[in-house]
Structure 1
């Protein structure tokens, strides 16, 4: 004998019912079929009850829609059959429901007994329809009302089963029943007084388990719309996968903590009988699903799943009056129990100064009142404080039978949450170590589930979520590189890099599943109008794990957002030099925020584009070395300009060429005035451990004053033409000395300067070609022969590669 239960989605309409019947017909041997109401019917009946209670006529419309829906299902399933019997049942049932709700409307209230009577019709209606269809296909099909088999007390809404009486009734009926298929409505039962009762939401699973246990069934099959129990909620964790085998105890823990595919009490009746339970997908019946058995080998996978419960309130009772006083916990729990409130989470500090309990949010005020009534004497004497309620919380639970045999799981769990700025409000772990539970903010649930799933289930593949501001020359190249290297990153570095948001100065576009990097330009054009505050607000609202903000702009307003990003544990990668070269206090604050919120702040491309200058400097300092002197050519654009400037080309034309090829800032005056180089040497000085401000750097400008005072880019270029003789003279003087012009940054003995210098042939800077940069670090270890870093220091592609490298660094942390 097999017991098959079909949930609401499996019998939601005529097409789904036919799929379920196909499953039934393919299961060999005798079987009992337990069915839920048509999908959504129980919710609609509850809505109708609430409208009637509130004296809204809308309940009549709801009932009419439900009746029409059932009649349409009959018409489609049984078009050529004499349906008088089932149609009569439908009409009588809805007349009964309507009468009860009319009374509720007049009185403005409805008893729990009457509520159960109304809700029971959902399963009665669906089971009658499915029985008629099955009988038309297989004459040896029987129907039995579960109210004749399952007997309960009168705890309406969540009735308790009398197993002795129910088991006898079930066994007696099936001893006589010779049918191949028996259809039974789930969820409903009958009190000893003869009134309809319900077994709580999810009670159809429970009904099926009770029948399977009473009959010593070979197996219990629960047919639903997913491929079994999952490692996490697949609606929240896209990478979640079904669990092939799981033990009773693990399945109970997961279902208790919110795995909705299985009603928590379901396993209790079959547990003692060692009846295997299969959770299968009605719409993909050939998939394996999940098998729930007494024991399974968990040696290689100590964590079986991650689950969560929403809408939790945390109630805290604290005060010196709790310390060393016997019976406090009993008094607390009894007060809550008298209100028939279930406690789902308990934790107590070892000091006995406080006790926390987690309950459903809807019961919080009632529980608070009950607890304070129980402790009114202690509260009046101020030995105990009034109960503190915290709402908008959720519980996440890590579940696995063999977790106790593996060290470090708790540390790994809380370290993973901490790295992603998920604040843990309370922790509980039972002595069995089968479950580690934590209370967190409800808004962080999706992030927490994803990072934990990534950490425990995804073969160490880490997902990075990028928000990219600026998709011009550098940003466009970065997107190309990310697209080209996506497979390499997954296969070799175990990184899945997704671009979630992009923006330029006009538009921004977001896709939580990842921007299509083949088509990002078209998507961006269809996006919404961009505002920096709106961009960061969207990134915060998505609250994705391993989020990285990438700034490819030179905009002060964007740089001003870094503090807000870091404070949300969103890493920042930037080629924008403004933040790190602003006031030292601002630079220092960004560093502190990065440490406090465990959010990397990387800016390798601030100096030398893609060259590993800052990273090398950090390693020197971290290893205990000390920088005494820096000499550097830090402007790829200026090096390009002076390497190509000669008597054959005007200075104006070379600067224009450098701008057109993307080597300078959009406003070339930033490069030629020395401001850009001042910012770069300042950043190196600060990274070397010296707290310097930019106005402490001497700037020996080679530009005539009128050029420096140009108020626009066009005026700047026009001024370069007007002062061409000045630039020609600079070249002529250097050429006469067999020297080359280089714009050099110096730092030594606490002083810094930038300016144009004539470089002799013997100097390392002389042979610096194209747009290359070069940096010489003189340190304790490199005192006589400096550490030299040299290479391309400008250009969109190399800058993008430097940003790319910073993203990878974060991924490898």
Structure 2
């Protein structure tokens, strides 16, 4: 004999009930089936709401009743032909009795626990009748038995306690003579020994099914719901969550206690006592394997942890004070006070110093708990031996569960470090001696991020999700997006990095998608996006609160650079192509570096110097390994190198600069490059990364431009001055040619001093043959005193700059 229980969502519509009928038909082909059903989804809440409205003399209870009536009559008409007048008459008669009860509540202005039980029992009584009649209408051999005739309880209304001696005898006596293939039972409902209607409380339908299964000692209890078993995490919050094939009873109860809605532990205690397996199945996907819960703790799952779960709307209360230390009885008085007020304690932790006791309760009980505790300890509070109770709200408990966690080292460390890296503050921690559960209290706003972070670390195939926000999708930014689009599959398969672009912005518009933007038509999406805002971009990033978030700045905008600190404080990594932040006042640069460490948020800016060349990365590795930089010589401007490699006595300086701008080697305003400011910023950044405290004004900048060039009012005006001063530039070239030299714009750092300027480079120098837009950096260090470490390659261009940004993103992923 099989015992199957179907929850409210499984019987929430005629379509779902048809699925239930199909399942029952299939099962009944081989052996008899007992089917326990809940009320139609949402009806119990509607019944309670109608009762409360009636009690409050609010006539809108009539509207709620009409909704309840319409739902049941609609389901009935969709399942059974209108010719079946007896079924319709029964349902309407039952609904009329419900209406009379509500009218009575309205008249006497009272909704006692006894009346409440009678009220909510209508849900299961109606659903079970409709399903039984539908089965008969399909020609199946079925009957309905009212569980109120079988399950006997005490008179503790709304949460009655079962008299198992009488109940088990009733069930066994009844089913030994049942000949029908399918028996429908309403769950949740029962009667007291004196014949009064009672209910079994939260999880009542599961409880009914467990009682019947235990009484008949069946081989397995099946609980059918709207999901394919118990998941590694809430699939509504963690998209990568998946069903757990097997769980031990203890694991299932731990997961259910901390928020997993599939199973309510106390309700299945009867089958747990007899070690009857529980199989959780999906009504909409009967072929899915579901989850089997047994007493087998070595159930073959490769992870030490089995699942993550959470409870929201938690209040954390703390009783603390020096007067508690070494004084027995504080815990007893505290928890007795809560017990008297019938306040359930969900979470407890106590400092080893005995200076404080911290516990979590439902947020709705916080006011009463605080009031009662302060009254209990009124004398100690007045004498300042302890403080008034501290109440913190808007919290959640997140728990990691698994029988085998005890035998694995470092579980807690992995969990806490993953949360810390994502700026998730842990307010309290509790772990039982069995080590089957590690519970943390965190801000409720961080629950989704926390669940995804822990799930990624424990249950996914070592794939790390990176959530990227890019501002500045011009020439370089566009290439970066396209490179990411091209490489996403490779990153996922080879590097185990799931890289998603969540937000894009240019100077006009911005777009977002919390699940990741489709990159097929991102330009079209951006063109019709919402109005761009630097602050708005940050706020949307914060509101999504996604793990492993990365902000990428591909602008040259000073205002954007001033907001890096706000990102880092949210543990959001920053990747910057923009040089302004790292070449701003030393205090700001230093602050950003410190914030990066404090909030475990990488701050990477490789492309500030040398575009895609690993200049800063190499420098950092040298210093980290204990080496010391003594001097740096470099050609750091790909644009200036391009200009002077293409300028000669047969060209015009104006035309070469125009060509460099057209090909994307200079900034939109070429004065930034030609003035030497850009090179000065780069050598400043290298000097700072070498450990020297310098500011931009400390760098000697010998410009090769004329006063008119430097004082030009606009880009167009600047180009006019270049034409006018052509002779000046020709003289520079002629001097270099006469000396058999090449013109190179050189940056130098030596003995704590830095300078930039145009130099004539002789043939024997490594800079002489530097071609095109290439950069070169020579590091002289204690380990490389005579022959420097040289880094050379393309130092300008959209593709190589984008690849440098991409490399920084991958560094964060690794």
Instruction: Tell me if TM exceeds 0.5.
Output: yes
Deviation (angstroms), 1:138 = 4.4
Secondary structure in 1 aligned to 2:517? coil
Deviation (angstroms), 1:109 = 4.5
d(CA) in 2 for partners of 1:170, 1:386: 53
Secondary structure in 2 aligned to 1:291? strand
Name the residue aligned to 1:665.
667
Residues 399 and 435 of structure 1 are in contact (CA less than 8 Å); yes or no, is this contact kept in structure 2?
A: yes
Greater CA deviation, 597-606 or 37-46?
Answer: 37-46
Q: Deviations over 1:62-107 (max 9, x none)?
A: 21122112111111101155232x3223223333333333344455
Name the residue aligned to 1:190.
191
Name the residue aligned to 2:129.
128
d(CA) in 1 for partners of 2:330, 2:761: 83
d(CA) in 1 for partners of 2:82, 2:405: 58
Residues 307 and 402 of structure 2 are in contact (CA less than 8 Å); yes or no, is this contact kept in structure 1?
A: yes
Greater CA deviation, 773-782 or 205-214?
Answer: 205-214
Residues 277 and 293 of structure 2 are in contact (CA less than 8 Å); yes or no, is this contact kept in structure 1?
A: yes
d(CA) in 2 for partners of 1:600, 1:50: 54
| Cα distance change, pair 108–653 in 1 and its aligned pair in 2 (3 A) | farther
Deviation (angstroms), 1:139 = 5.0
The unaligned stretches of length 5 or more in structure 1 are none
Mapped pair 1:264 → 2:265: yes
1:180-259 equivalences in 2 (<5 Å): 180-259=181-260
d(CA) in 2 for partners of 1:196, 1:802: 73
d(CA) in 2 for partners of 1:202, 1:711: 77
d(CA) in 2 for partners of 1:480, 1:268: 56
Mapped pair 1:88 → 2:72: no
Residues 278 and 292 of structure 1 are in contact (CA less than 8 Å); yes or no, is this contact kept in structure 2?
A: yes
Aligned to 1:642, which of 644, 669, 681? 644
d(CA) in 2 for partners of 1:165, 1:567: 63
Deviation (angstroms), 1:267 = 3.0
d(CA) in 1 for partners of 2:634, 2:748: 7
Secondary structure in 1 aligned to 2:403? coil
d(CA) in 1 for partners of 2:720, 2:412: 67
Q: Deviations over 1:218-241 (max 9, x none)?
A: 211111111111000000001001
Greater CA deviation, 138-147 or 271-280?
Answer: 138-147
Query: Alignment RMSD, CA only?
Result: 1.5
| Cα distance change, pair 715–432 in 1 and its aligned pair in 2 (3 A) | same
d(CA) in 2 for partners of 1:213, 1:668: 83
Name the residue aligned to 1:492.
494
Q: How high is the TM-score relative to the length of structure 2? A: 0.98
Residues 314 and 389 of structure 1 are in contact (CA less than 8 Å); yes or no, is this contact kept in structure 2?
A: yes
Name the residue aligned to 2:738.
736
d(CA) in 1 for partners of 2:322, 2:193: 48
Secondary structure in 1 aligned to 2:515? coil
Residues 298 and 402 of structure 1 are in contact (CA less than 8 Å); yes or no, is this contact kept in structure 2?
A: no
| Cα distance change, pair 728–69 in 1 and its aligned pair in 2 (3 A) | same
Mapped pair 1:9 → 2:43: no
The unaligned stretches of length 5 or more in structure 2 are none
Deviation (angstroms), 1:657 = 1.1
d(CA) in 2 for partners of 1:202, 1:716: 78
Residues 311 and 391 of structure 1 are in contact (CA less than 8 Å); yes or no, is this contact kept in structure 2?
A: yes
Name the residue aligned to 1:680.
682
Residues 406 and 434 of structure 2 are in contact (CA less than 8 Å); yes or no, is this contact kept in structure 1?
A: yes
Residues 246 and 299 of structure 2 are in contact (CA less than 8 Å); yes or no, is this contact kept in structure 1?
A: no
d(CA) in 2 for partners of 1:393, 1:154: 36
Secondary structure in 2 aligned to 1:52? helix
Name the residue aligned to 2:622.
620
Name the residue aligned to 2:322.
320
Name the residue aligned to 1:774.
776
Deviation (angstroms), 1:531 = 0.5
Residues 347 and 427 of structure 1 are in contact (CA less than 8 Å); yes or no, is this contact kept in structure 2?
A: yes
Secondary structure in 2 aligned to 1:51? helix
Residues 275 and 294 of structure 2 are in contact (CA less than 8 Å); yes or no, is this contact kept in structure 1?
A: yes
d(CA) in 1 for partners of 2:55, 2:537: 45
d(CA) in 2 for partners of 1:189, 1:382: 52
Secondary structure in 2 aligned to 1:22? helix
Name the residue aligned to 2:24.
24
| Cα distance change, pair 143–529 in 1 and its aligned pair in 2 (3 A) | same
Residues 245 and 296 of structure 1 are in contact (CA less than 8 Å); yes or no, is this contact kept in structure 2?
A: no
d(CA) in 2 for partners of 1:342, 1:524: 51
Q: Deviations over 1:282-315 (max 9, x none)?
A: 1111111111111142563210100100001111
Residues 67 and 90 of structure 1 are in contact (CA less than 8 Å); yes or no, is this contact kept in structure 2?
A: no
Name the residue aligned to 1:156.
157
Residues 772 and 791 of structure 1 are in contact (CA less than 8 Å); yes or no, is this contact kept in structure 2?
A: yes
Deviation (angstroms), 1:420 = 1.0
d(CA) in 2 for partners of 1:390, 1:657: 63
| Cα distance change, pair 594–91 in 1 and its aligned pair in 2 (3 A) | same
d(CA) in 2 for partners of 1:376, 1:272: 44
1:564-575 equivalences in 2 (<5 Å): 564-575=566-577
Secondary structure in 2 aligned to 1:392? strand
Deviation (angstroms), 1:108 = 5.0
| Cα distance change, pair 471–106 in 1 and its aligned pair in 2 (3 A) | farther
| Cα distance change, pair 88–696 in 1 and its aligned pair in 2 (3 A) | same
Secondary structure in 1 aligned to 2:727? helix
Q: Deviations over 1:430-473 (max 9, x none)?
A: 11111111111101111110010000011211111001111111
Secondary structure in 2 aligned to 1:402? helix
d(CA) in 1 for partners of 2:109, 2:658: 81
Mapped pair 1:367 → 2:369: yes
Name the residue aligned to 2:510.
508
Greater CA deviation, 703-712 or 801-810?
Answer: 703-712
Residues 248 and 267 of structure 1 are in contact (CA less than 8 Å); yes or no, is this contact kept in structure 2?
A: no
d(CA) in 1 for partners of 2:700, 2:52: 77
Aligned length: 811
Secondary structure in 1 aligned to 2:594? helix
d(CA) in 2 for partners of 1:655, 1:156: 88
d(CA) in 2 for partners of 1:442, 1:516: 29
Secondary structure in 2 aligned to 1:284? coil
| Cα distance change, pair 340–749 in 1 and its aligned pair in 2 (3 A) | same
d(CA) in 2 for partners of 1:181, 1:5: 13
Q: Deviations over 1:553-582 (max 9, x none)?
A: 111111111100000000000100010000
Greater CA deviation, 373-382 or 474-483?
Answer: 373-382
Deviation (angstroms), 1:649 = 2.1
Residues 153 and 161 of structure 1 are in contact (CA less than 8 Å); yes or no, is this contact kept in structure 2?
A: yes
d(CA) in 2 for partners of 1:755, 1:484: 40
Residues 241 and 455 of structure 2 are in contact (CA less than 8 Å); yes or no, is this contact kept in structure 1?
A: yes
d(CA) in 1 for partners of 2:224, 2:71: 22
Deviation (angstroms), 1:710 = 1.6
Residues 568 and 574 of structure 2 are in contact (CA less than 8 Å); yes or no, is this contact kept in structure 1?
A: yes
Deviation (angstroms), 1:44 = 2.1
Name the residue aligned to 1:705.
707
d(CA) in 1 for partners of 2:173, 2:10: 30
| Cα distance change, pair 481–139 in 1 and its aligned pair in 2 (3 A) | closer
Name the residue aligned to 1:304.
306
Secondary structure in 2 aligned to 1:307? strand
Greater CA deviation, 445-454 or 140-149?
Answer: 140-149
Name the residue aligned to 1:576.
578
1:103-122 equivalences in 2 (<5 Å): 103-106=104-107, 109-122=110-123
Deviation (angstroms), 1:264 = 2.7
Mapped pair 1:528 → 2:530: yes
d(CA) in 2 for partners of 1:760, 1:55: 99
d(CA) in 2 for partners of 1:103, 1:523: 59
Q: Deviations over 1:576-626 (max 9, x none)?
A: 001000000000000010000000000000000000000000011111111
| Cα distance change, pair 759–68 in 1 and its aligned pair in 2 (3 A) | same
